Structure 1
């Protein structure tokens, strides 16, 4: 593992429940397109990477697929195994998977590849476990983050919170564009393509703040929680002010989300 991988293991350790309440609701939007791109259907042998609480695995099971899943965090894997008992869920850290060569018809990862220290090595491992003609489909956020993904970061920048040197940025930053993501996947797979996924995410601002920023979910939250209480309060004020333009009634807001789906064939 790289230093970034080690950082990520600490970042997500013990976050299964709060992730399920917050960010998992945001990332659920892309699950259908992800499984469609991998051509997951009845009888497909599917590997779900970074399964988290098992949302992708559950939808693949509902399609009639035979599902295996992995997550680097033991609590995430335990949560997925409990929620999707039909799936074979294991703990594994990319780029090392505990599966034989050419095991799967499809490998999918919903916002996982951008949390890997060596994406090229990870893709080589995905190719290894896919059968010839099998499909890979992966999502990532557009980078730098924008829309709902940038709310806390933009508020911190407005307040003047500096990004510390010891909190690493994802090595995936250079791949967060459709052309770059397609080229990356094309280094390991045939017929690689990438498409933009845009949607509106509706939520209550205080809940999103509580289950994201103040729950230490993601690097923005790591940086924010290092600040003193007056600084955090100023960031919250800016966050609330920026969200007023997205109000849709009943105390909720609807903010754009921007991601990329890349897929290819072994």
Structure 2
């Protein structure tokens, strides 16, 4: 397809460069939560040719291999590709990025993308590419974070805001013409616009458990956009954000001291025409 890389895409590459191990040690367990239902939605089972797009450390690829699927996985970040290849030796792991994947039309029985659409500059072109490489009657399934976010998802952002951290003007946002409602109807319509059939979208909610220090470790190690923003601050601002975080995190702490953090995501899936 040869799609032009957007400024948003370039910024995502910068944010995630070299972050594979930091992500695997922090936010990866959270993002792996929907993997079983994601694979169910794509009908991934024994012998199914499946592509895991944006594999990260390889959670979905590993789960698909465990089901006996024939797994190919791609990621735009080289450190993620290296880690996934080590972690999931049964998968064919390659470096590639949406919306221009190096596969033939209809090459896969199923294509899954776990929290990948949040990180692409052209979501519609990305879904169209997922459709292109899926065979007739094959399935596409993907997840994104829902909007508005659940309370657990806003904890770190609230602490940073209390410390006076604001999103800088130079940090590119998604082009409004490319954006879509992060709601069940909005995501379902995105799949229908790509000519997928029998589209269904549901809201997934769960409580992610972590220690307060483990949850802070993600942004503190520069993971994701919020971590990139936090670690770009002067040390005294980071310390102030941590002070507010320690206070606010008490809202989610149980009697054992563990945080129980509500999260909400959307799972959408559709089928190719026969």
Say whether the fold is shared (TM-score over 0.5): yes
| CA-CA distance at 1:158 after TM superposition | 2.4
For structure 2, list consecutive stretches of 5 or more residues without a partner in the other structure: none
| CA-CA distance at 1:118 after TM superposition | 0.3
Which residue of structure 1 aligns with residue 202 of structure 2?
195
Which residue of structure 1 aligns with residue 132 of structure 2?
128
| CA-CA distance at 1:170 after TM superposition | 4.2
Aligned-partner Cα distance in 2 for 1:79–1:162: 33
Which residue of structure 2 aligns with residue 219 of structure 1?
225
| CA-CA distance at 1:180 after TM superposition | 0.5
What RMSD over aligned residues (CA atoms) do the two structures have, in Å?
1.4
For structure 1, list consecutive stretches of 5 or more residues without a partner in the other structure: none
Does the Cα contact within 8 Å between 2:143 and 2:267 map onto a contact in 1? yes
| CA-CA distance at 1:101 after TM superposition | 1.0
Which residue of structure 2 aligns with residue 230 of structure 1?
236
Q: Quick one: structure 1 residues 146 and 167, their matched pair in 2 at CA, closer, same or farther if it must change by over 3 Å?
A: farther
How high is the TM-score relative to the length of structure 2? 0.93
Does the Cα contact within 8 Å between 2:123 and 2:179 map onto a contact in 1? no
More helix by share: 1
Aligned-partner Cα distance in 1 for 2:219–2:78: 23
**Which contiguous aligned blocks of 4+ residues in structure 1 show a shift greater than 4 angstroms?**
170-173
Aligned-partner Cα distance in 2 for 1:173–1:256: 25
Task: Say whether 1:20 aligns with 2:27.
Answer: no
Q: Deviations over 1:182-227 (max 9, x none)?
A: 11111111121210010010001112212x1111111112222222
My pick for the range that moved more, 250-259 or 139-148, is 139-148
Number of aligned residue pairs: give it.
265
Q: Quick one: structure 1 residues 170 and 25, their matched pair in 2 at CA, closer, same or farther if it must change by over 3 Å?
A: farther
How high is the TM-score relative to the length of structure 1? 0.95
Does the Cα contact within 8 Å between 2:153 and 2:261 map onto a contact in 1? no
Aligned-partner Cα distance in 2 for 1:160–1:75: 32
Which residue of structure 1 aligns with residue 246 of structure 2?
240
| CA-CA distance at 1:146 after TM superposition | 3.2
| CA-CA distance at 1:169 after TM superposition | 3.1
Q: Deviations over 1:222-259 (max 9, x none)?
A: 22222222222221122111111211244321110110
3, 6, 20: which one pairs with 1:2? 6
Does the Cα contact within 8 Å between 1:114 and 1:170 map onto a contact in 2? no
171, 175, 182: which one pairs with 1:176? 182
Task: Say whether 1:143 aligns with 2:147.
Answer: yes
Q: Deviations over 1:62-107 (max 9, x none)?
A: 1111100000011111111111111111100111111111111100
